[in-house]
Amino acid sequence: MNIGIEDTTVVQRIMKLHSVEIPRHLMQMYPVRTGMEFDPNVYFTVLTHLAMKPGYIIDYVYCKSHLGSHQCIYARRIDEKPASHFEHRDWEEKNSGYSFLVADGSSDGYFQLAVFRRLAGQFYLYWHANYNDIRIVTTPEEMEVIISEVNLNNFGRVFTNKQVTDMRLIDPQPTVEVSDSQASVTYCVFTKWGGLARLKDSYLRPPPHRLVDSDVLDEVKHDCDINF
C-alpha cells in the first residue's frame, strides 16, 4: 500500500538548521566542545514523527582533517559523558547511529527516517567534506530551482537540454509503501557530483529500523566537473 507524505517541508527546515558557521575552536586538531555548538537533537523539533530510543540522545565528535573536516554523529545514553575521538572510533565499529532512531509508524515517520539518514550529517562541513551536498527534492518547483541554480550560477558544467528534459520526467513526490515487516520510502535526491536519482530505501518496520535494501529507480547522471 502506497501512502503519501503529509509534510515535505521538513526537508527545507532541516537544511535551514544547517546554516550555521563552524566555531573556530572546532578547527583545532583535537577540539574540545564548549556546549555552545550546534545541537543535532534540535532535529526532533522538526522531525516530529521520529525520536531517539528512550534514554538516548544524539551527539558527535568533530573530526578534523587536512582534506576536510566534519562531524561524526553517534548515539549515547543521556547519563553518559560525551565520547572522545578514540572512544567514538570504537563505538562506530560496533554501532550505527540510525539504529537508535524510532519512527512512530506513520508514513511521515518513515520518510523522516530517510531525511535523517541523508541530511543529519550536513552541518559544520569544511572544505572537501562539502562534497556531501545531497539535497532531497520533493516537488517539481524544487526541481526547477536546481535546474536554474546549475545553469545560471556558473558552478562548473551545466545541464544539457536532454538532462533537463529527463529530470522533468521524474516525479519527485515522495511516497511510502508499507508491508507487514518493511516500510519502503521512495524519494529523489540531487548532488552536483552525481546528478538526480529517485531512490527506494527499505527499512524494517519494528525498531531498530535497519536499512535492508536501497535501489536506484531512475537517474539522470551529472557531474559539475569541479574538484576542490
**With pLDDT > 90 as the criterion, what percentage of the chain qualifies?**
79
pLDDT digits (tens, 9 = 90+) for 180-190: 999 999 999 99
| CA–CA gap between residue 75 and residue 77 (Å, rounded) | 7
| Whole-angstrom distance, CA of residue 182 vs CA of residue 28 | 43
Give the closest residue to 111 by CA, choosing from 70, 38, 172. 172
Spell out the SS3 assignment of 95-131: CCHHHHEEECCCHHHHHHHHHHHHHCCCCCCCHHHHH
Lowest mean pLDDT among 44-58, 81-95, 151-165, 176-190: 81-95
Q: Which residue reads 532531497 in cell numbers?
A: 136
Strand partners, 195: 191, 221
Asked if pLDDT for residue 64 goes beyond 90, the answer is no
Q: Are strands 193-204 and 182-191 parallel, antiparallel or unpaired?
A: antiparallel
Question: Looking at the predicted structure, is the pLDDT value of residue 1 above 70?
Answer: no
Which residue matches cell numbers 536532454? 162
Q: Which helix (H) or strand (E) holds 87?
A: helix 85-94
Contact yes or no for 202/212 (Cβ under 8 A): yes
What's the average model confidence in pLDDT over 89-108? 84
Average of per-residue pLDDT across 63-69: 82
Span 51-79, average pLDDT: 90
Q: How far apart are CA 134 and CA 119, in angstroms?
A: 7
What's the farthest any 2 CA atoms get from each other in the chain?
56
What are the beta bridge partners of residue 108?
Answer: none
In 123-170, where do the E strands start and end?
135-137
The whole-angstrom separation of Cα 100 and Cα 56 is 8
Q: How confident is the model at residue 98 (pLDDT cuts 50, 70, 90)?
A: confident
